[in-house]
Chains A and B, each alone.
Chain A
Amino acid sequence: MQPINYQLAAYSDLFMLIAAIVYAAAFIAFALDMASSSKTIRALESELTEQQERTDAARSSAARHKQLVGAAGGAASTPTPGHGPGTTASPAAGNAVGGLVDEDMDYTGATRRPAANVAVALMVIAAALHAFAVIARALAARRVPWGNMYEFCTTGALLVAAVYLLFLIRKDIRFLGTFVAGLVVIMMAAATMGFPTPIAYLQPPLQSPWIVIHVSIAVLASALFTLTFAMSILQLIQHRREAKAPTGATGGLVFMRLVPSALSLENWSYRLNAVGFMMWTFTVIAGAIWAEASWGRYWGWDTKEVWSFVIWVVYAGYLHARATRGWTGERAAWLSIIGYACVVFNFTIVNIYFPGLHSYAGLPS
Chain B
Amino acid sequence: MSQQDNVRVARDEAAQANTPPPPESPAPDGGSPRGRQDVELPALGVWGTLRFAWTQLTSMRTALMLLLLLAVAAVPGSLFPQRPAGPGIVQNYIDDNPVLGEWLDRFQMFDVYSSVWFSAIYLLLFVSLIGCVAPRAVKHAKALRSAPPRTPRRLSRLPEYGRVVLESSGPAPVEAVEQAAKYLRKRGYRTEVRQEPDGGASVGAERGYVREVGNIVFHLSLIGVLVFMATGSLLSYRGQKILVEGEGFANTLIAYDAFTPGSAFSEEMLTPFSMTLKRFEYVYDRQSPTHYGQPLDYTAVLDVQDGPGDTAREVELKVNHPLDFQGTRVYLVGNGYAPVVTVRDGNGDIALQGPVVARVQDNVFTSLMTIKAPDARPDQLGFVGFFLPAAYTGEDGVAVSIDPAPLNPELNLNSYYGDLGLDEGDPQNVYVLDTENLTELNSRNLEAGGITLKPGESYELPEGKGSISFDGLKRYVGLDILYDPGKWGVGFFAVLALVALGVSLFVRRRRAWVRGTTGPDGSTMVEYGLLARGEDFGLREENLTLRRQFEKLWPVQAPEDIESTEGPIVVAGAAQNRVE
Which residues does A use to contact B, with CB under 8 Å?
Answer: 1, 3-4, 64-65, 68-69, 71-72, 79, 81-90, 198-201, 203-205, 207-208, 239, 242-243, 262-263, 266-267, 270-271, 274, 277-278, 281-282, 285, 288-289, 292-303, 306-307, 309-310, 313-314, 316-317, 319-331, 335, 350, 354, 365
Q: Select one of A198, A301, A330 contacting B113, CB under 8 A.
A: A301
Asked if A314 contacts B569 (CB within 8 A), the reply is no
Assembly CA distance A128 to B29 (angstroms): 49
Asked if B574 contacts A292 (CB within 8 A), the reply is no
* Interface status of B8 (Cβ within 8 A of chain A): yes
Which residues does B use to contact A, with CB under 8 Å?
Answer: 1-11, 14, 26, 28-32, 60-61, 63-64, 67-68, 70-71, 74-75, 77-78, 82, 84-85, 112-113, 159-160, 229, 238, 283, 285, 287-291, 294-298, 318-322, 329, 331, 333, 362-363, 480, 482, 484, 487, 490-491, 494-495, 497-498, 501-502, 505-506, 532, 534-537, 539-540, 568-569, 571, 573-580
Asked if B318 contacts A204 (CB within 8 A), the reply is yes
Q: Select one of A72, A267, A306, A329 contacting B1, CB under 8 A.
A: A329
Q: Considering only CB atoms, which chain B residue lies closest to A350 in the complex?
A: B78
Asked if A281 contacts B290 (CB within 8 A), the reply is no
Assembly CA distance A203 to B319 (angstroms): 10
Asked if A302 contacts B63 (CB within 8 A), the reply is no
Asked if A84 contacts B159 (CB within 8 A), the reply is yes
What's the least CB distance linking B255 to chain A, in Å?
17
Provide a sorted-by-A list of 10 A–B residue pairs whose CB atoms are within 8 angstroms: A83-B537, A84-B7, A89-B10, A285-B495, A298-B490, A301-B112, A325-B60, A327-B31, A327-B64, A329-B2
What's the least CB distance linking B225 to chain A, in Å?
10
Q: Select one of B32, B74, B159 contacting A306, CB under 8 A.
A: B74
Q: Considering only CB atoms, which chain B residue lies closest to A335 in the complex?
A: B68
Assembly CA distance A100 to B482 (angstroms): 62
Asked if B84 contacts A300 (CB within 8 A), the reply is yes
Chain B residues within 8 Å of A84, by CB: 7, 11, 14, 159-160, 532, 539, 576, 579
Chain B residues within 8 Å of A204, by CB: 295-298, 318-320
Asked if B63 contacts A307 (CB within 8 A), the reply is no
Asked if A4 contacts B568 (CB within 8 A), the reply is no
What's the least CB distance linking B21 to chain A, in Å?
17
Chain A residues within 8 Å of B577, by CB: 68, 71-72, 82, 85, 87-88
Assembly CA distance A292 to B319 (angstroms): 12
With A296-B331, A329-B2 as contacts: A306 and B288 at CB distance below 8 Å: no
Asked if A296 contacts B322 (CB within 8 A), the reply is yes
With A85-B14, A317-B71 as contacts: A90 and B85 at CB distance below 8 Å: no
Assembly CA distance A91 to B369 (angstroms): 75
With A4-B288, A87-B577, A204-B295 as contacts: A263 and B7 at CB distance below 8 Å: yes
Assembly CA distance A278 to B159 (angstroms): 28
Asked if A329 contacts B5 (CB within 8 A), the reply is yes
Chain A residues within 8 Å of B362, by CB: 365
Asked if A81 contacts B319 (CB within 8 A), the reply is no
Chain A residues within 8 Å of B298, by CB: 204
Q: Select one of B4, B85, B287 contacting A301, CB under 8 A.
A: B85
Assembly CA distance A87 to B539 (angstroms): 13
Chain B residues within 8 Å of A289, by CB: 491
Q: Which 6 A-B pairs have the closest CB atoms?
A: A198-B290, A329-B5, A200-B291, A89-B3, A326-B31, A84-B159
Q: Considering only CB atoms, which chain B residue lies closest to A302 in the complex?
A: B85
Asked if B238 contacts A296 (CB within 8 A), the reply is yes
With A200-B290, A324-B61 as contacts: A310 and B71 at CB distance below 8 Å: yes
Most buried by B among A201, A262, A281, A302: A201
Most buried by A among B26, B71, B291, B501: B71
Chain B residues within 8 Å of A328, by CB: 4-8
Q: Select one of B31, B74, B160, B497 contacting A325, CB under 8 A.
A: B31
Assembly CA distance A68 to B572 (angstroms): 12
Assembly CA distance A306 to B112 (angstroms): 11
Q: Considering only CB atoms, which chain B residue lies closest to A326 in the complex?
A: B31
Chain B residues within 8 Å of A302, by CB: 85
Asked if A278 contacts B501 (CB within 8 A), the reply is yes
With A263-B7, A300-B84 as contacts: A83 and B159 at CB distance below 8 Å: yes
Most buried by B among A64, A267, A323: A323
Asked if A86 contacts B487 (CB within 8 A), the reply is no
What's the least CB distance linking B55 to chain A, in Å?
14
Assembly CA distance A174 to B112 (angstroms): 45
Asked if B11 contacts A300 (CB within 8 A), the reply is no
Q: Select one of B63, B70, B319, B532 contacting A207, CB under 8 A.
A: B319
Chain B residues within 8 Å of A320, by CB: 60, 63-64, 67
Q: Considering only CB atoms, which chain A residue lies closest to B331 in the complex?
A: A296
Q: Select one of A83, A200, A297 contacting B294, CB under 8 A.
A: A200
Asked if B568 contacts A64 (CB within 8 A), the reply is yes
Assembly CA distance A128 to B160 (angstroms): 42
Asked if B8 contacts A323 (CB within 8 A), the reply is yes
Chain B residues within 8 Å of A200, by CB: 285, 288, 290-291, 294
Chain B residues within 8 Å of A79, by CB: 571, 573-574
Asked if A201 contacts B288 (CB within 8 A), the reply is yes
What's the least CB distance linking A170 to chain B, in Å?
13
Chain A residues within 8 Å of B85, by CB: 300-302
8 further A-B contacts with Cβ under 8 Å, apart from A86-B7, A303-B78, are: A89-B10, A201-B294, A208-B320, A282-B498, A297-B484, A298-B490, A329-B2, A350-B78
Q: Select one of B28, B75, B320, B568 contacting A205, CB under 8 A.
A: B320
What's the least CB distance linking B484 to chain A, in Å?
7
Assembly CA distance A270 to B10 (angstroms): 18
Chain B residues within 8 Å of A296, by CB: 238, 322, 329, 331, 333, 480, 482
Q: Select one of A270, A297, A324 contacting B30, CB under 8 A.
A: A324
Most buried by B among A64, A204, A277: A204
Assembly CA distance A298 to B494 (angstroms): 12
Q: Select one of B61, B70, B74, B534 contacting A327, CB under 8 A.
A: B61
Q: Considering only CB atoms, which chain B residue lies closest to A267 in the complex?
A: B537
Q: Considering only CB atoms, which chain B residue lies closest to A262 in the complex?
A: B4
Asked if A198 contacts B288 (CB within 8 A), the reply is yes
Asked if B580 contacts A68 (CB within 8 A), the reply is no
Q: Select one of A242, A316, A330 contacting B67, CB under 8 A.
A: A316
Chain B residues within 8 Å of A208, by CB: 320
Q: Select one of B67, B505, B580 contacting A274, CB under 8 A.
A: B505
Chain B residues within 8 Å of A243, by CB: 2
Most buried by A among B3, B290, B321, B575: B3
Chain B residues within 8 Å of A88, by CB: 577, 579
Q: Select one of B70, B74, B291 contacting A198, CB under 8 A.
A: B291
Assembly CA distance A334 to B580 (angstroms): 28
With A201-B296, A204-B320 as contacts: A69 and B333 at CB distance below 8 Å: no
What's the least CB distance linking A235 to chain B, in Å?
9
Chain B residues within 8 Å of A300, by CB: 84-85
Asked if A294 contacts B71 (CB within 8 A), the reply is no
Assembly CA distance A65 to B166 (angstroms): 23
Asked if B60 contacts A86 (CB within 8 A), the reply is no
With A201-B294, A324-B60, A325-B9 as contacts: A239 and B4 at CB distance below 8 Å: yes
Chain B residues within 8 Å of A330, by CB: 5
Assembly CA distance A309 to B77 (angstroms): 12
